[in-house]
Structure 1
């Protein structure tokens, strides 16, 4: 009777550790680098030109079905607008509202997948730039 008891204890000692949970660490060993953001600056004319180029990039990206680039350029457009908006506030509320509509059209182009809205925003922004010159 001692022999089966010893064998069962030995078998238990050998087999039970095989049922233990094994953790394999697959986490990356490098730390992610935070993206840097450049805040646009310049005169009203320079910022409007930058916005025109950015909306053009959004239009091109949407036509090419490149949503990632369009979203990135939309963020750049919003940064430029955030800088320009207080600078043009003294030129009248109507101008601010018109430009906000253009920003909304560009946003609609990207978020609702409407490339024509980016084209409209680009055409209307060109008219605004010409009227301010």
Structure 2
């Protein structure tokens, strides 16, 4: 798996306002799938959240808008405002080959959110 550090100050991202818990993966009948228990950061024990963002990308000379979920640890559910700028700490994009279709799959992770414009107060997460 190739990992790339992404400078959140240079790669402008906008939060969509969508945040979901990231669940632990379990194995059932030899297949992996998300379970019912929310995953935790192995270093801090904080809950993991998928924060949806959009950003502009250029592929083969074509400009497009990409939508991805960035996994971040947080004690409480992040609550970015709809289509507001967001910056992450230690943002990393990991790329791997998807064996199902031999295409590339990218996953995004960060150690935290460094800046959330217009954030709302979030409800407390269930432990």
- TM-score range with shorter-chain normalisation? under 0.3
Greater fraction strand: 2
Bigger RCO of structures 1 and 2 (CA < 8 A, at least 6 apart): 2
Q: TM-score under structure 1 normalisation?
A: 0.22
Structure number with larger C-alpha Rg: 1
Greater fraction helix: 1
Q: TM-score under structure 2 normalisation?
A: 0.23
